[in-house]
Amino acid sequence: MEEKRMFAAVKIQPNKKLNWLYAFLLPFIVQLVLDIGFIVAAVLLHMA
């Protein structure tokens, strides 16, 4: 029984770490997407 519990804890752990990493990186990703979109829009306006 104890081994099963340990296995479950180990199984859950990486997922929690991934969620934390995702939550940490999300603002950077959003900022990057907005910056790229702004640059693309500026280039398109210049070309138009």
Tell me phi and psi for residue 23, to 5 degrees: -65, -35
pLDDT tens track, the chain, 48 positions: 567 776 666 666 667 778 888 888 999 999 999 999 999 999 999 997
What the block records as the tokens of 14 is 């990486």
Check residue 36 and give its pLDDT. Answer: 98
Residue whose C-alpha is closest to residue 48's, from 37, 32, 34, 40: 40
Structural domain tally of the chain?
Answer: 1
With H, G, I as helix, E, B as strand and everything else as coil, classify residue 1: coil
pTM (whole model) above 0.75: no
Residues 36 and 30: their CA atoms lie apart, in Å, by 10
CA dihedral 29, 33, 34, 37 (to 10 degrees): 170
**Which residue segment(s) compose the domain that 39 sits in?**
2-47
